[in-house]
């Protein structure tokens, strides 16, 4: 996953992206999944946790649990990368 800058996040959110799903990850963080506001389903899904935005690299929110997003140290990573 690629964590985005604050400037990118502000610009992304200013386009009112569509919420695809909201889930709570295994450590209790709320993950809000968004469709890209300009490219829709032709772009990977984005995820926001506690105001931090990341490009998941996935085109579906129904990825295996190993790929669940987790915010740690100011970056969002897949669970298998940090647990």
pLDDT for position 59: 86
Percentage above 70 pLDDT, the chain: 94
Confidence of residue 15 (pLDDT cuts 50, 70, 90): very high
10: three-class secondary structure by DSSP: helix
Q: What is the mean pLDDT of residues 4-30?
A: 94
**What pLDDT, on the 0 to 100 scale, is given for residue 83?**
60
Confidence of residue 27 (pLDDT cuts 50, 70, 90): very high
* Cα angle value 9/52/18 (rounded, 5°): 60
CA distance 26 to 65: 9
Question: How does the average pLDDT of the chain come out, rounded?
Answer: 90
The residues near 78 (Cβ < 8 Å, ≥ 6 apart) are: 1, 66, 67, 68, 69, 70
57, 34 Cβ separation under 8 angstroms: no
């Amino acid at each position: 996953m690629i964590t985005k800058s604050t400037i990118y996040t502000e610009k992304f959110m200013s386009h009112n992206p569509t919420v695809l799903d909201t889930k709570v990850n295994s450590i209790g963080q709320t993950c809000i999944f968004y469709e890209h506001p300009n490219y829709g389903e032709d772009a990977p899904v984005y995820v926001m946790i506690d105001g931090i935005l990341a490009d998941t690299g996935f085109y579906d929110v129904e990825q295996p649990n190993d790929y669940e997003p987790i915010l740690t140290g100011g970056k969002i990573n897949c669970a298998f990368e940090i647990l």
